[in-house]
Amino acid sequence: MVVSDLAIDVRGLRKSYGAVEAVRGIDFAVARGEVFGLLGPNGAGKTSTVEILEGYRQRSGGDVTVLGKDPARRERDLRARMGIVLQSSGIYRHLSVRETLTHWARIYPAPREVEEVIALAGLESKAAERTRRLSGGQLRRLDFALALIGDPELIFLDEPTTGFDPAARRAAWETVRALRGLGKTILLTTHYLDEAEALADRVAIIKDGRILVEGRPDELGGEGTTGRYRVSYVERGETVARETDDPTALLNELTSAALARGERLERLRVTQPSLEDVYLELTADEQVGDADADRDQAVVGG
């Protein structure tokens, strides 16, 4: 990829807070026009990463380039090219939606049309409403509108739908898709698997400050990343499951043995892990009990 095609380039990024290593050497790159999702549980290091890219936090190590610049320098013109969802901090309660956007439009060198931004955020019916009378979901739309008003090239959305009801969530997804349609580059973080799947062109799964796997959502679960297959069948009421990267040979072995015994393999199935399986497996804390899996392994091994 040519350097200028990249909106974000992160190499060996590290961030420590005292003894806490929040980000432990991560690499990723986001192309212009791409929606990139950092997917991971709470405490994974998502916000630390995003705030370093935004120029709000200093990194402890590594190299970071955002729109060709180092955000740690906090250059004003870089700020103007980035859109940051402010979580309602830039909102004056006595102003209307339209007045708020008009006010903030003035600080940017080349703002978008206020009416267009109102439409993009789905706030047409609330344009003249004072912001203190907006619902939570409508305020969140106004946050999006504020992120857009400067007509940024790159937009950061840190957990954009956490705490939303399903309708507000859908609306936020539509807004993200509209932004993508405008050719904007978007870095979003989420701990919702379905959100990453629905919105992101590429996803990196992050946990404990490390990226565990990265790829297109439709590839992450399948052969593309894992190359793993699960062959399962039921024997005397118990599910027997085996994992393999070569299901042809394994099926041949299992079915030949069964035929030689004059048996059938009941409910024989070959499956690949879904993105959900991969995510749950990667982000699961070491738990006492994946008892079923343990039992399956024991049956196979024994």
Ligand X SMILES: Nc1ncnc2c1ncn2[C@@H]1O[C@H](COP(=O)(O)OP(=O)(O)O)[C@@H](O)[C@H]1O
Residue 8 binding result from Mg ion, ligand X, none, given CB thresholds of 5 to 8 Å by partner type: none
Residue 176 C-beta: closest distance to Mg ion, Å: 17
Residue 102 Cα distances to 50, 150, 158, 175, 237, angstroms: 27, 11, 24, 20, 68
Do the beta carbons of residue 30 and residue 157 sit within 8 Å? Answer: no
Residues that bind ligand X (CB under 6 A): 17, 20, 22, 40, 42-48
Q: Which does 105 bind (CB under 5 to 8 A by kind): ligand X, Mg ion, none?
A: none
Q: Give the whole-angstrom CA distance, residue 55 versus residue 57.
A: 6
Give helix 136-148 / helix 166-181 axis angle, nearest 10°. Answer: 10
Cβ distance to ligand X smaller for residue 60 or 65: 60
Q: Which of 12, 24, 47, 216 binds Mg ion (CB under 5 A)?
A: 47
Residue 273, binding choice from ligand X, Mg ion, none, Cβ under 5 to 8 Å by partner class: none
Q: Print the binding letters for residues 4-43 with Mg ion: x by CB under 5 A, - otherwise.
A: ----------------------------------------
| Tokens 């749950």 sit on residue | 280
Phi and psi angles of residue 143, each rounded to the nearest 5 degrees, phi first: -60, -45
Q: What are phi and psi of 214, to 5 degrees?
A: -145, 140
Nearer to ligand X, 20 or 293 (CB): 20
Give the residue with the Cβ less far from Mg ion, 191 or 242: 191
Q: At its nearest, how many Å lie between ligand X and the CB of residue 132? A: 29
Residue 87 or 252 having the CB closest to Mg ion: 87
CA–CA gap between residue 188 and residue 246 (Å, rounded): 36
List contacts with Mg ion (CB under 5 A): 46-47
